Structure 1
Amino acid sequence: MAVKEKAWYSCYPEAIPKSLTYPDHPLPYFLEQAAKDFPEREALYFLGKRLTYQELLDDVYRMAQVLKELGIKQGDRVSIMLPNSPQSVISYYAVLLIGGIVVQTNPMYKERELEHQLNDSGTETIICLDLVYQQVEKIRARTPLKRIIVTGIKDYLPFPKNLLYPLKLKKDGIHVEIPYGDGVYAFSQLMKKALPQPVKSEISSMDDIALIQYTGGTTGFAKGAMLTHRNTVVNIIQCNAWVHKAKYGEEKMLALVPFFHVYGMTVAMNYAIYKAATIILLPKFNTKETLKVIDKERPTLFPGAPTMYVALLNHPDTPKYDLSSIQACISGSAPLPLVVQEKFEKLTGGRLVEGYGLTESSPVTHANPIWEKRKNGSIGLPWPDTDCRILDPNTGEEVPPGVPGKLQVRGPQVMKGYWNQEKETARALSDGWLNTGDIAMMDDEGYFYIMDRQKDMIIAGGFNIYPREVEEVLYDHPKVQEAAVIGVPDPYRGETVKAFIVLKPGKTTTEEELDRYCREKLANYKVPRKYEFREELPKTTVGKVLKRVLIEEENRKSEGMETTG
């Protein structure tokens, strides 16, 4: 389509091209290039351990040799069930280097979820943390698994932490015993025997699958999105264009978002390696530890989720630490409240903008310009080479600016389809257009706004209510730290609005106070009719509030009332 047809191009920053050139390389090429250009630059920092780019590449070569010797071939699926750690980066790039397909697996998965993923993907090899070995072993006989490669946090800890860590586990009552043999291997022992010899595979970046990345599985079992090397390389290059002030070989990336989540994988790992940045690895988010690491290691880039920024803003020790190294943050996985954006920028002096994406699009499709014009409450502009349209939910016809509808996206970062799911693929993709499942609106300048998930929209008394709008108002209340809004059954209105509230430490309020506050800022039909105060909200590992858990709890309450009534 001609450039003039796209409303958002009128607001594109001068520094960002509307279309980009994408190199025809598989993903590992960029690691090899970074090691060639900056062999002595620090690639990874992990709890005191430091690896240069040359050391990282050597370890990737070693693991690639190990995998080949174990019989893993091009196209074989390998599950990586690890937190952010050197082993997760090494395993990821080693699998890709030999032409394998990475299946990222959440270490917090329960047996049912893990069994489904391994069976669905046909995975025969898993690289996992010693702390989760028992649950892997329990389901092994019911899956295609032939090989389990086990590693521990201590394997890449510096002296004396590597000696103290096992003692800490014992003190905490955690006993880790791995029965090696019979297809169970020690990561560290395999690495000791391998040589850092370059490995080459004939990989078609356009056609070959790099990842089977499973969706969140909000309805039924999760589906595996097939992302090619091309899809992921495209999204890295698009990210590079958007973060146009970042300098090659000079940045430091704070990697808090898990790599097993597509957002963390692309932005915090792959993009960082493309920029030859130092990746500051944290295996889990702890507010106090994060403050210490930012103060000491001075990251410049910090992709995160709103809950992370909220936690850092509200910790009582935050004023003791210097967070001024942070230059740019793209917030993803959940809506970014305006008050959080403003306070975090004031705290750090950097820029925090909201972006948007999906597992099926590698993941990013939109973001607000970081240093140029942005709009409050907007997910920003489509990235280069990314097309978007909004369709009427009933007629399927494109709607004009200002009218909400179903958001579809199209671009070279969109997946090949779902693994072994032809019907689901046909439902998600239509003539290259990806159905996002989100209700969105585009304004006259081409900025997009997510009104809500199509399934999250509340219809009360015939009115459409978008939870995000109500949450924005609640987040603005000086005593509210977190808010989540859902629709609950109502005999008169069909549905009504309920708000779950987490208050800031030391603060108290009442339903009446929040009701008065909301009525000043929202139309009457949007005001929550019910409130529930909680110590915390259920969340995913990336900090996204699990509204389906709240909805399920409410449904059980409703069923209980009907039974006893």
Structure 2
Amino acid sequence: MEAATFEKPWFRFYELNVRRRVEIPEITLVEMLKQTTLKFPENPALIFGGKTITYREMDSLIERMAKVLRQRGVKKGDRISIFMPNSANWVISFFAIQRVGAIVVQTNPLYVESELKALLQDSGAIGIVSIPPLLPRISPIQAEVGLEFIALDYLSKVSGLAGLGLADNPVYIDLEEKLSDPSIDELETPPFVCQSNDTAVLQYTGGTTGTAKGVMLTHYNLVANALQAWEWIVGHEGKERILTVLPLFHIYALTACMNFSILSGGAMIILPRFDIDAVLQHINDYEPTFFPGAPTMYVAVINHPRIKEYKVSSIRCCLSGSAPLPKEVAIRFGELTGGRLVEAYGLSEASPATHLNPIFNSRVGSIGVPAPNTDAKIMDLETGQKELPAGEIGELVVKGDQVMSGYWQKPEETAAVLQDGWLYTGDIAYKDEDGFFYIVDRKKDMIISGGYNVYPRDVEEVLYTHPAVREAVCAGIANPYWGEMVKAYIVTKEGSNVTEEEILNYCQDKLATFKIPKQIEFRESLPKTAVGKVLRRYLVDEERERMLLQENAGAKAEVAATEELTESINV
């Protein structure tokens, strides 16, 4: 990105030692790792399952796995999927794929067979790295999607391999067996063929609101965003310990946990999934300094009944991303733990971070200010061509070194969101006079009720301040009178017996009448993605299906009544 030619208002809110512009070296992720390995060979790189792997050991394992991939014919530009939960071998697999010049296809291990099939077909992946428990979702589609190999972790620990159809099948690779084979050392070291502008990752996005698209992120994009985050945190090289419980298939974790850690010579404390007791125990035992997470994770922390029994003082800061951070959660987290919890903002198309709150001068409710090497503005919603002044609501657009090169094999979709280097985010926002930005909502999530625009986040912020509310989300539900009505879905705190009437009365003097929910549904839990983002669209679809069932039932009842009336007349 070209250096700004004029002063930006947000620069004066940068913390001391944070530069406005960072020089981004034209290196690959593999070269970034090599530099760290040379500098900190004996530093812990990965802590997983009670075992620690140093940078020197990790580098050796990556080289061995790269040889295995090369032996199977993997070449530059090939796409390889990683389909497994967080683990040390997830990280090793990622860098081994990069080492041979291939592209990692990010794949959610929670995907069912049809979802996995769609992504593998779209990306044209020729191989997949996974674990045996996920084989029932892979094997049935292997031939159809053209997978040339399935590399399996922990295969030696599985009994009854014959039942899995693996015996003497050349498609399957036992990674543990291969990586421990001494003959691997005799294989030629794969030549390094990557350049910084080559695509490193296909990060699929949009699956919850439409057809999933593969975001093409280059090595340069990902190195840049890791450097931008490192510059912002003002960390201690070689001494950071990053709690990695966010799923690594998600771009947020890939940058804020993995790439940030490797750039800094830090250690990744890896958990396969979010379990609040396990998370707090890992914080207590391994003393992480940095905890990137999602709002729902911090909600679980502040509501844990024994939070004060755990040592949490090692955490210097927490960055909240992937979904809006309710003000009440940020405030209560600080009160209970003493940690700095600030909101950041990003999207897959920007590797992901574009905005961060100053760690010690954050503004609760704001996503912060643009990161170094990043510009941002608000454009009108009608044409997208007119820049709006401070205080006016429009679409957030961003520009920077971290912005994607485009969508995989989708030139029209790429042209729709990338205009003259500016990325149109699809988020409705405004900025204040100081250059702090505030997300109002997603374009697609805005509710039009009785002709008024209602932004779900406005309502959710009020609901979160109610002492009985643990989690809340609002959605627009089709209604014959209002067009759309605001419906709130609420998870209450344990032991609470709050009623719908009490919640609505609470909203009376805190929200305009048209914003107050017309309906409230109490639930045991809310549907979420793997990183804790509430699936608002799922709730809307659920309501639509419910209404269709009611309409069908009503129609059947009407037909039955007509038939009964006809029969009585005939009699």
Q: Which TM-score tier does this pair reach, normalised by the shorter chain?
A: over 0.9
Conserved in 2, the CA contact under 8 Å of 1:31 and 1:274?
Answer: yes
Give the 5 Å matches for 1:289-438: 289-371=278-360, 373-396=361-384, 397-438=386-427
Give how far 1:130 is off.
1.2
The AA in structure 1 aligned to 2:371 is: W
Mapped pair 1:509 → 2:511: no
Describe the shift of the 1:558–1:445 C-alpha distance in structure 2 as closer, same or farther (beyond 3 A).
same
Mapped pair 1:219 → 2:209: yes
Q: Distance between the aligned counterparts of 1:179 and 1:446, measured in 2?
A: 61
Residue of structure 2 equivalent to 1:288: 277
Deviations, residues 21-70 of structure 1 (Å, cap 9, x unaligned): 01111001222222212222111111211111111111111111111111
Describe the shift of the 1:73–1:475 C-alpha distance in structure 2 as closer, same or farther (beyond 3 A).
same
Q: Distance between the aligned counterparts of 2:74 and 2:478, measured in 1?
A: 52
Give the 5 Å matches for 1:154-165: none
Q: Distance between the aligned counterparts of 2:314 and 2:335, measured in 1?
A: 13
Residue of structure 2 equivalent to 1:159: none
Conserved in 2, the CA contact under 8 Å of 1:365 and 1:383?
Answer: yes
Deviations, residues 348-375 of structure 1 (Å, cap 9, x unaligned): 322111111111111110011112x221
Deviations, residues 221-263 of structure 1 (Å, cap 9, x unaligned): 210011010000110110011101x101101100011110000
Conserved in 1, the CA contact under 8 Å of 2:477 and 2:484?
Answer: yes
Q: Distance between the aligned counterparts of 1:218 and 1:320, measured in 2?
A: 38
Deviations, residues 96-144 of structure 1 (Å, cap 9, x unaligned): 1111111111111111111111111111010011110121011112102
Length-normalised TM-score, structure 2: 0.92
| Matched position secondary structure for 1:188 | helix
Give how far 1:380 is off.
0.4
The AA in structure 1 aligned to 2:71 is: E
Give how far 1:317 is off.
2.9
Q: Distance between the aligned counterparts of 1:257 and 1:395, measured in 2?
A: 37
> What runs of 5+ residues in structure 1 fail to find an aligned partner?
156-161
Range with bigger deviation, 36-45 or 433-442: 36-45
Residue of structure 1 equivalent to 2:569: none
Conserved in 1, the CA contact under 8 Å of 2:70 and 2:190?
Answer: no
| Matched position secondary structure for 1:102 | strand
Give the 5 Å matches for 1:515-534: 515-534=504-523
Conserved in 2, the CA contact under 8 Å of 1:254 and 1:280?
Answer: yes
Give how far 1:19 is off.
1.1
Conserved in 2, the CA contact under 8 Å of 1:326 and 1:348?
Answer: no
Give the 5 Å matches for 1:187-336: 187-193=175-181, 194-195=184-185, 199-205=190-196, 207-244=197-234, 246-336=235-325
Aligned with 1:119 (options 121, 146, 167): 121
Conserved in 1, the CA contact under 8 Å of 2:126 and 2:147?
Answer: yes
Residue of structure 2 equivalent to 1:28: 30
Give how far 1:15 is off.
2.1
Q: Distance between the aligned counterparts of 1:126 and 1:408, measured in 2?
A: 35
Q: Distance between the aligned counterparts of 2:24 and 2:330, measured in 1?
A: 32
The AA in structure 2 aligned to 1:282 is: L
Q: Distance between the aligned counterparts of 1:324 and 1:304, measured in 2?
A: 17
Conserved in 2, the CA contact under 8 Å of 1:485 and 1:500?
Answer: yes
Residue of structure 2 equivalent to 1:477: 466
Deviations, residues 167-194 of structure 1 (Å, cap 9, x unaligned): 9xx9xxxx97744522111110111122
| Matched position secondary structure for 1:520 | coil
Give how far 1:558 is off.
2.1
Conserved in 1, the CA contact under 8 Å of 2:470 and 2:492?
Answer: yes
Give the 5 Å matches for 1:89-104: 89-104=91-106
The AA in structure 1 aligned to 2:215 is: A
Residue of structure 1 equivalent to 2:538: 549
Range with bigger deviation, 57-66 or 517-526: 517-526
Q: Distance between the aligned counterparts of 2:351 and 2:105, measured in 1?
A: 14
| Matched position secondary structure for 2:345 | strand
Conserved in 2, the CA contact under 8 Å of 1:323 and 1:347?
Answer: no
Residue of structure 1 equivalent to 2:562: none
Q: Distance between the aligned counterparts of 2:209 and 2:44, measured in 1?
A: 42
Identical-residue share of aligned pairs (%): 47
Q: Distance between the aligned counterparts of 1:491 and 1:176, measured in 2?
A: 53
Residue of structure 1 equivalent to 2:560: none
Deviations, residues 534-555 of structure 1 (Å, cap 9, x unaligned): 0000000001101111000111
| Matched position secondary structure for 1:28 | helix
The AA in structure 2 aligned to 1:189 is: E
Conserved in 2, the CA contact under 8 Å of 1:84 and 1:283?
Answer: yes
Mapped pair 1:184 → 2:190: no
Conserved in 1, the CA contact under 8 Å of 2:472 and 2:490?
Answer: yes
Deviations, residues 444-491 of structure 1 (Å, cap 9, x unaligned): 111111100000001111111110111111111111110010011222
Conserved in 2, the CA contact under 8 Å of 1:131 and 1:176?
Answer: no
> What runs of 5+ residues in structure 2 fail to find an aligned partner?
555-571
Length-normalised TM-score, structure 1: 0.93
Q: Distance between the aligned counterparts of 2:523 and 2:171, measured in 1?
A: 46
Range with bigger deviation, 358-367 or 310-319: 310-319
Q: Distance between the aligned counterparts of 1:527 and 1:400, measured in 2?
A: 29
The AA in structure 2 aligned to 1:528 is: P
